[in-house]
Structure 1
Amino acid sequence: MSQSQADDERPEDSSLENNTVSQTSHILFGCMMKEPLTPLNLEVESDYEVGKGPPKLDVLIIRRTGARWSKTQLEFLPDGIRQSNCKHVILELKYTESINKTAIFQTIGYLGSYLRLKQFKPENVCAFIVSSKSPQKKMLNQIGFEQTDIKGIYRSRDCLLSNIQLISLNDLSDAPYNLWIKLFSSKINQRLSVLKRILAFDLKKLNKGLVSILVKILNFWNIIGEISMQRIQKDILYESGGISDEVAGWFLSLFKPEDRLRGLKPEDRLHGLKPEDRLNGLDLKIIEDYLQKQRKMKR
């Protein structure tokens, strides 16, 4: 793999393919969809129960009461969903998994369970597989999915799968209504580009809860080793011609100091500090012991 490829793709590391990362990504994805849509007269539900108890559907469900999506709702609904007429939308995020036949069968099961439970007609409900990774052409051919006239949206030729669509986050356009969901794409450079565009908004006017979730998403990237806070600061916040220093400073103030410093080498954490600032807060005995040790080493 070339360096440019390595910089642009989520690492194919086994440590990422675990339940913790998958579960956390689902929680953040659900929060990211709920926060802006719930105040807009849309019901958004995660961990949907099939019946009176377990099992639960590991999906997100958006319910609309109006005849069509409103203008304000469309500001946060990505391609695929925004063109749908269904009043009930099932979203299944595939963050660490690739699209395959098993994923399609699983979504069919979710869709069937929901239709049976609610006793709806099929035309009232549609399901979207939201794929973080780009689907392979060979697999798309095997499952019979084709690119629609909307970038990043795939549909099946099979009438039995007509209620299921595939959203490839890496391939969606950069339209403003696609930006938030593209934070879950697998391509690192694309996520950084999306983040830069989001930060160009007047974040202080955005829903505070949504900004808080954005901070959690960035911390998630940092913790699992996908994108460090140092790279975000270097490539986004303090890049020449990027966002203003005022916005950069305000945004960084939303993070805990330990989150901003996570991953830095000790010497990098102290970079830019005056000598007296580096020593400030240290016990005098610690300083004296250190100096004595250094003197012995120089003899």
Structure 2
Amino acid sequence: MINWHRLFGLALEDYFTGTRYAVEMEKDVARKRQVLDVVIVRGTGEALVDPCDGLEDLRPHNLLTYKSGQESLDAWAIEELIGHYVNYRKAFAPREPAARFGLYAVTTRRPRALAEQVTLTPVKPGVYRLPVVGRSITLIVLREVEPCPRNALWEIFSFEAAKVAAGAGMYQWRQDDHFPILEEIYRRYREAGIPMSYTFQDFRRDLARETLPELTPEERLRGLPPEDRLRGLPPEDLVRGLRTEGRLRGLSDEDVAQLKDLLERGTSRRQ
């Protein structure tokens, strides 16, 4: 079973497809296995266009901890993130200066207990700066970000049915094999008792309607059996463009004889 952390990582992997950033999930950053949720590493490729709120200032190395709607982001989670940063930097980029590392804490709901312990400096709706030991952690609260197309991915993980449906309708997936991810997200929401009036099947149907005008005739017909391709066409359209051999192909000798007889009768009447 895919858990929420891996689903979030898979969705981020899709989000950064085609850009200069690569996503690594469940990164082992120590000799004793300690898994970091997501690492986003800059490489070559296109720059990220109109990024989700909170991701505007990505560095070459970006370490991210994620808490779903069933978890709480607390002080211990922040301390773990800092520990992962130290181990990651030692293991993978020991010569890189601190300025080339970004730390992110993404949480579905507002961390109230953490907000009582430390000062959260607001940057924009749903995005805060959390100063910790000379570093600044970007805190992203998914339920608080502005609802708009650039934040569609955040809305999919908001754990609020209306926002999930809106985000799923707006988000433009980069990878062709994303349907299993989205289907699993919907299934997990149903298991969590969140009523999804806009189902996964609704999303697939609406997506097909939106993309249909952009497809070529060959792409529209791909996968349809012959009987479905021909359904509703009048007989004259079915044979239009066929040569005589093609029109007669499949007819029995008896059918050909009957056709010949009909043609001869028609010719004699005209005479």
Matching of residue 79 in structure 1 with residue 79 in structure 2: no
1:195 positional shift: 2.8
**Alpha carbon RMSD of aligned pairs, Å?**
3.2
Matched with 1:169 is 142
Matched with 2:97 is 121
> 1 CA distance for matches of 2:127 and 2:53?
7
Secondary structure of the equivalent of 2:99?
Answer: helix
Matching of residue 146 in structure 1 with residue 121 in structure 2: yes
Matched with 1:232 is 198
Structure 1 runs (4+) deviating above 6 angstroms are none
Contact 1:111 1:126 in 2 (8 A): no
In structure 2, runs of 5+ residues without a counterpart are: 211-271
Q: 1:2-25 deviations in whole A, cap 9, x for unaligned?
A: xxxxxxxxxxxxxxxxxx8xx600
Secondary structure of the equivalent of 1:191?
Answer: helix
Secondary structure of the equivalent of 2:193?
Answer: coil
> Partner amino acid for 2:9?
G
Residue 62 of structure 1 is aligned with which of 40, 44, 52?
40
- Percent identical among aligned pairs is 20
> 1 CA distance for matches of 2:192 and 2:146?
26
In structure 1, runs of 5+ residues without a counterpart are: 1-19, 248-299
Matched with 1:185 is 158
Instruction: Identify the structure with the greater helix proportion.
Output: 1
> 2 CA distance for matches of 1:61 and 1:124?
13
Q: TM-score, normalised by structure 2?
A: 0.65
> 2 CA distance for matches of 1:113 and 1:181?
28
Matched with 2:229 is none
Matching of residue 97 in structure 1 with residue 65 in structure 2: no
> 1 CA distance for matches of 2:198 and 2:139?
30
Secondary structure of the equivalent of 2:73?
Answer: coil
> Partner amino acid for 1:115?
R
Contact 1:36 1:210 in 2 (8 A): no
Contact 2:122 2:129 in 1 (8 A): yes
> 2 CA distance for matches of 1:131 and 1:39?
25
Matched with 2:232 is none
Matched with 1:30 is 9
> 2 CA distance for matches of 1:85 and 1:218?
29
Residue 155 of structure 1 is aligned with which of 125, 129, 149?
129
The alpha-carbon distance between structure 1 residues 207 and 153, as it changes in their structure 2 partners (threshold 3 A), is: same
Contact 2:149 2:167 in 1 (8 A): no
Q: 1:175-206 deviations in whole A, cap 9, x for unaligned?
A: 322111321113333223323434xx6x7xx5
Query: Which of the two has higher C-alpha Rg?
Result: 2
> Partner amino acid for 1:135?
P
Aligned positions, number:
208
Matched with 1:42 is 21
1:105 positional shift: 1.2
